[in-house]
């Protein structure tokens, strides 16, 4: 069952500059940062009040984030939702005609063409 919002993903050119702006405007606090060279991105989890955002900065030109930035520029990328059982969740989505783009043990992405134009990330708690 979907339990609620995990975070909102944003593609940015520079995490440090964006974090400085969000901190100044909204009191954002960095929770953690990790590089994923194999995916072509660095991700930084940020809290603004009770909301969490994932700032995603490209590394190089290959991968989802660099290609997204080149095509669309900075901005909204995905909504991440928490699930207590990703296996049953994915089976239910597929029964409803929703295509799963990628899937691992704890994470699945739903294809925007089958989920109302939004890229959803489902994360098992």
Q: Which tokens hold the place of 49?
A: 């009040």
Task: Give percent of the chain above pLDDT 70.
Answer: 100
Q: At residue 116, does pLDDT exceed 90? A: yes
Regarding beta strands 75-83 and 2-11, do their DSSP bridges make them parallel or antiparallel, or are they unpaired? antiparallel
112: alpha, beta or left? (left if phi > 0; alpha if psi -120 to 50): alpha
C-alpha distance from residue 103 to each of 16, 48, 114 (Å): 30, 28, 16
Is residue 4 classed exposed, middle or buried when 0-12, 13-18 and 19+ CB atoms within 10 A define those classes?
exposed
Res 122: pLDDT = 98
- pLDDT per position as a tens digit, 26-60: 999 999 999 999 999 999 999 999 999 999 999 99
Q: Name beta bridge partners: 108.
A: 103, 122
Given a contact cutoff of 8 angstroms between Cβ atoms, the answer to whether 65 and 40 are in contact is: yes
- pLDDT per position as a tens digit, 53-80: 999 999 999 999 999 999 999 999 999 9
- What are the boundaries of each domain within the chain? 2-124
Is residue 41 classed exposed, middle or buried when 0-12, 13-18 and 19+ CB atoms within 10 A define those classes?
buried
The answer regarding whether domain 2-124 maps to CATH 3.40.50.10240 reads: no
């Amino acid at each position: 069952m979907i339990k609620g919002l995990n975070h909102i993903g944003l593609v940015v050119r520079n995490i440090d500059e964006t974090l400085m702006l969000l901190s100044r405007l909204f009191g954002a606090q960095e929770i953690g940062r990790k590089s994923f060279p194999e995916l072509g991105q660095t991700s930084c989890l940020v809290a603004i009040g009770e909301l969490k955002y994932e700032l995603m900065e490209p590394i190089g030109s290959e991968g989802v984030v660099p290609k997204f930035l080149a095509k669309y520029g900075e901005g909204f990328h995905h909504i991440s939702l928490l699930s207590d059982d990703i296996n049953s969740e994915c089976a239910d989505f597929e029964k409803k005609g929703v295509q799963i783009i990628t899937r691992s043990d704890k994470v699945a992405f739903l294809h925007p063409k089958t989920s109302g134009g939004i890229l959803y990330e489902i994360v098992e708690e």
